[in-house]
Structure 1
Amino acid sequence: MATDTPATGLNRRALLALGGAAALAATARPVLAQDMKAAGDPDETMRLWPGNPPGAPSTLPKEEVVTRNPASTVPDRAVSRIGTPMMTVFRPARPNGAALLIIPGGGYVRVVIDKEGFECARRWSEKGVTCFVMRYRLPADGWADRARAPLQDAQRAMRLIRASAAKYGIDPNRINVLGFSAGGHLAASLATRHAEETYAPVDAADRLSARPTVAALGYPVISMSAPHAHMGSRAQLIGENAAPEVEAINAPSNRVTAETPPTFLFHATDDRSVPVNNSLMMYAGLVAKNIPTEMHLFEKGGHGFGLRDAAGIPAEAWPQLFDRWAATHGWL
């Protein structure tokens, strides 16, 4: 007898029926742009939408890849003008059933693909986690519903991972999201608004839940209002002249419900780009709704430390702290 799982509403029969949707997503695999390829980059990608994304302009943005620090000995690439949102797949040698959707930051004007994406994917894939690094649409590139475009991609990504559970050896009840900075805002929006209908269903995958098992938010953009908002992210997402009610709707700390998953936060108090008050606001919103949460605030680290820039300082401990906490909630 098939049994439903509370987190996804998914049963074994439904998983088998979803093979077609997962296959459709996997057949159109745009490879990474040639100027973006680096040693160790996986070739497997999964396109999020079978056709144009929702609300597409008449001419799709043409993807641009830049190397942020050409003198660096490690890749440090950023992607902008994303017209074909997708996920890069990092398959572990021995999958343990867990999956991780990684959402890099970039102020909603770019996606910092190495520092907050591929580097994390390599770390967790070595632990047996199947990782999916998302390149999501950026709000100000002409999409009809700019503020929802990134959330549409995040919801769709989570559903496609669930639809592909059998293919990748994933437990559909052990899919986490990890987001940084503006990607932390998107991960928090997914955690708090996973059930919101942001687009018309396109295939069987859209019958699945977009709810993460747990959410991890690194130095996240949360507030959309002065004085704590990261004004660049705010302007890109909702426009410079957005009304207070629009600011409130797009602040994840205001959107926490009983269905928000357990959430882990980490931030440096000397962050001059995204004030630590953002994490404090999210923590308060979670506690007010009795959502299991843990927060770590580090004295030093600045903004955007990821893995590489945390080396040698106390903030370096955040991945281990997250792993231990997530294990108590069934992810690892």
Structure 2
Amino acid sequence: MDLNRRTALGLAAAAMTPVSQTVAPADPTETIRLWPGAAPGGERVSVTPRVVERSTDPAFHDRFAQYTTDPILTVLRPTRPNGASLLLIPGGGYNWAVVDKEGMDCARAFAAAGVTCFVLRYRLPGDGWAAGPDAPLQDAQRALRLVRAWAAAEGLDPGRVAVLGASAGGHLAGMLTARADATYAPVDAADALSLRPNLSILLYPVATMADPFVHAGSRRELLGAAPTPEAIERYSLERIDWRGAPPVFLLHAMDDAAVPVENSLQLLSALRAAGAPAEAHLFEEGGHGFGIRLIEGRPAGAWPRLAMAWGARRGWITQT
């Protein structure tokens, strides 16, 4: 095959180009502080916040946030908003919250479909907050209300606000979805709004706090080394009363060695028993914590499309 000089030079240049020249997308600069003053119950908190980058590849970030004291929402605005909003709650075993894999990366996929996204950086239960295991839930409830208030102010639909939680963030999103009781005293007008989402998407969630299927690290960070039976009962999603809860979308890989698939299966049974609308997708392989980037080209990589199709059927988004 003949190659002209320009083509040959181009191929030579490509051969000398490093495999990865792409740079991770810049972070959005728009953030919302959850609390107008200090977060509640921090009198005994003395931790120093930090964000750690684990990626050595400039093509993507892989950060986690730890010891958060001033929780925030990072806003990702779509080019063409369709009126829907999504609160994203990343996982991290309640020891930290991953910023990118289950936060920014997922948000960009939904923003590309017209959804206005809000990635939550929340407080952690082991840092000394007075609310203990309810400190992350305080942030999630406050965040959901702020997203609803923000949607109304921005011309979006405050009645089309979904939550997406992954791993331990799936547990937190599940608590947010199931519980109707506020865990903090009102601080402004936003706290008059509903604190429950209209839809809930749970990715490989840490659902149970009970043996034998518990993710031990998440339970230890949330409830301590020796939780009481009452605490296990209160914070196990499959033991909560889901009657009247909004629709739930579950996704799990059956080869998940960190959070067994029984977490989702038991929760699905509880949802069905309560008459709560639910859809579940189980994949033979995928492991744990795959988010979006780590599952591209594999069967479980279809989950954003499946979740959006489900959301479209529920009137959350308009699918083109």
TM-score, normalized by length of structure 2? 0.89
The corresponding residue for 1:98 is 84
For 1:282-293, list aligned pairs within 5 A.
Answer: 282-293=267-278
* Contact 1:216 1:264 (C-alpha < 8 Å) held by counterparts: yes
Residues 112-163 of structure 1: CA deviation (Å, up to 9, x unaligned): 1111000111111111111000001010011112110011100000101111
The corresponding residue for 2:312 is 327
Matched, 1:318 2:303: yes
* Contact 1:165 1:172 (C-alpha < 8 Å) held by counterparts: yes
Q: One-letter code of the match for 1:216? A: I
**Inter-CA distance 156–60: structure 2 relative to 1 (3 Å threshold):** farther
Q: One-letter code of the match for 2:296? A: A
Find the aligned partners of 1:138 and 1:130 in 2 and give their Cα distance: 25
* Contact 1:130 1:168 (C-alpha < 8 Å) held by counterparts: no
The corresponding residue for 2:228 is 243
Q: 2:101 aligns with which of 115, 133, 145?
A: 115
For the residue of structure 2 that corresponds to 1:140, the secondary structure is: helix
Find the aligned partners of 2:58 and 2:300 in 1 and give their Cα distance: 22
The corresponding residue for 2:114 is 128
Matched, 1:296 2:281: yes
The corresponding residue for 1:307 is 292
Alpha-carbon offset, residue 176 of structure 1: 0.2
Q: One-letter code of the match for 2:305? A: Q
Matched, 1:49 2:35: yes
The corresponding residue for 1:224 is 209
Gap runs ≥5 in structure 2: 1-23
Alpha-carbon offset, residue 257 of structure 1: 2.7
Find the aligned partners of 1:40 and 1:166 in 2 and give their Cα distance: 27
The corresponding residue for 1:23 is none
Alpha-carbon offset, residue 189 of structure 1: 0.4
Find the aligned partners of 2:122 and 2:164 in 1 and give their Cα distance: 14
How many matched pairs? 295
The corresponding residue for 2:175 is 189
Matched, 1:275 2:260: yes
Fraction of identical pairs, as percent: 53
Residues 179-209 of structure 1: CA deviation (Å, up to 9, x unaligned): 000000000000001x212111111111110
* Contact 2:163 2:200 (C-alpha < 8 Å) held by counterparts: yes
Find the aligned partners of 2:46 and 2:119 in 1 and give their Cα distance: 21
Find the aligned partners of 1:68 and 1:276 in 2 and give their Cα distance: 27
Alpha-carbon offset, residue 58 of structure 1: 4.0
Q: One-letter code of the match for 2:201? A: A
Matched, 1:74 2:60: yes
Residues 261-301 of structure 1: CA deviation (Å, up to 9, x unaligned): 10000000000000000000110110001111110010000
Find the aligned partners of 1:72 and 1:223 in 2 and give their Cα distance: 37
* Contact 2:89 2:172 (C-alpha < 8 Å) held by counterparts: yes
Matched, 1:142 2:138: no
Q: One-letter code of the match for 1:146? A: G
Divergent runs of 4+, >4 A = none
Alpha-carbon offset, residue 72 of structure 1: 5.8
**Inter-CA distance 278–96: structure 2 relative to 1 (3 Å threshold):** same
Find the aligned partners of 1:107 and 1:169 in 2 and give their Cα distance: 35
Alpha-carbon offset, residue 39 of structure 1: 4.0
Single out whichever of 92-101 and 256-265 deviates more from structure 2: 256-265
Residues 37-56 of structure 1: CA deviation (Å, up to 9, x unaligned): x6421110000011111211
Gap runs ≥5 in structure 1: 1-37
* Contact 1:219 1:265 (C-alpha < 8 Å) held by counterparts: yes
